[in-house]
Chain A
Amino acid sequence: MPKIHIPTPLRQYAGKQPDIEVKASTIGEALSGLVAQHPDLRRHLYTDEGKLRAFVNVYLNDEDVRYLQKEATAVKDGDSISIVPSIAGGRS
């Protein structure tokens, strides 16, 4: 099963787990499987209209899915999916 890497700021909404395996054949299925398991994640990943939020980037291995087939991008066993949100921190 593809594995989704959960970034630190979102782990609190995903049972504190760093990685979650989901059964999916596309990026879209993987993400909806993820929010089905962890409903608290939904509002952090999707807008009220059900669109993926602009400050959340999704990578399949090291490629941004925006430059692949977006949510229709195919995934297979052993793939690693990363959610990469913008983070703030450093100065103070």
Chain B
Amino acid sequence: MATITEVTPEAATLSNDEILRYSRHLIMPEVGMEGQLKLKAARVLCIGAGGLGSPLALYLGAAGVGTLGIVDFDVVDYTNLQRQIIHSTADVGRKKLDSAAEKLKAINPFLNIRKFETRLSSDNALELFREFDIIADGTDNFPTRYLVNDACVLTGKPNVYGSIFRFEGQASVFATEEGPCYRCLYPEPPPPGLVPSCAEGGVLGILPGLVGVIQATEAIKLILDKGDALIGRLLLVDALGMKFRELKLRKNPDCPVCSEHPTITKLIDYNEFCGIRGEEKPVETAVPELQVEELKRRLDAGDDLFVLDVREPHEYQICNINGYLIPLGDLPKRVNELDSSREIVAHCRSGARSAKAVDFLRQAGFKKVHNLSGGILAWADRVDPKMPKY
């Protein structure tokens, strides 16, 4: 394997305390003093201190990667704790950066932690990446993923990539000199709405652990220049079947960014590229909406309203407002169960899926359909504070 990182171990030395701390590395021929000094001299930038970033940063910090950069602007919330193990319950409401830095320092006080409280953008990515040897991408959205990829190619920094959905994950090392980049694999992102996001689809809490540790492993191997890196290979992790599969990746000779004749030579507008304007908003805004207070008032008044819940059965079990359940995906084949002469109020968790349902029903000839604005989350916030939120 070719040396990819420009780490200068000569400049680093280990104190006696560090020698003791890293002794299980030092007695391994694959690491040894030389490798440990490479780790100490190395600078890894983690994009995000979330699900993937948690195990990634914890292991890199424990292993003795000298400089750990973290880019994050988010705040810890309760729904993060099921998988973002670098944060604890007491950290809810704190900046993820502060919470993560504190844990890392507690594990390894020899670390140099660099905090970047910012949204990674086309304006700051290149400058930021130049100060690091390896970039570890733990992002959850397509605009940032393409931005990280292109910025890695343009700055010549390897991109240790991981991605997760429900109980399935992907990992690879992109943008090395000899290997393919993310765009070689996927030249274009999916149009918004066609692929469910983590927030909609859920994720098994251990999965970012599995995939993030694979990313950490690859980062350390790149630094040590040992073993076979996950270059030109896409590792697919299926936690439910506990199967690991591997697919071959090739450098695309027509890749828009990493080929001999690239068409992208500087960073672009990635939100525009991904067709996103307000990602979490309902796709169809022309859908007639009903506020939760109004629904409550009309139900209490005994109005003839048919409440249609378009979530999945397992969501219905968490909380419901006695709606009639037809999951969005089943709506086309079960539309005959609905009475178009009645007034229908469709709802989901936050209002995005039910907007699609209302749009569908209107196209199917239903005249009196409303979308419950803000979904059952708004109901829990503004009508029934005892209702659990998820």
Contact = CB atoms under 8 A, between A and B. Distances in A.
Interface string A55-89: 10101001110010000000000000010111111
A63 B166 CA distance: 25
Main secondary structure on chain B at its contact with chain A?
A: mixed
Contact of A86 (B51, B195, B201, B246): B195
Nearest to A90: B52
A82 B201 CA distance: 21
Contact of B165 (A40, A59, A89, A92): A89
B281 to A, nearest CB: 16
B168 to A, nearest CB: 4
Given A84-B234, A89-B197, A9 B250 contact: no
A7 B168 contact: yes
B139 interface: yes
Contacts of A53: 190
**Residue among A8, A12, A59, A92 with the highest chain B CB neighbour number at 10 A:** A92
Contacts of A86: 142, 163, 185-186, 189-190, 195
A1 B293 CA distance: 56
B80 A92 contact: yes
Interface string B112-156: 000000000000000000000000001111101100000000000
A33 B185 CA distance: 25
B188 interface: yes
B201 A9 contact: yes
A64 B246 CA distance: 11
B345 interface: no
Interface in A6-62: 7-9, 12-13, 18, 40, 43-44, 53-55, 57, 59, 62
Interface of A: 7-9, 12-13, 18, 40, 43-44, 53-55, 57, 59, 62-64, 67, 82, 84-92
12 contacts: A9-B201, A53-B190, A55-B189, A62-B248, A64-B250, A87-B164, A90-B52, A90-B53, A90-B140, A91-B48, A91-B52, A92-B140
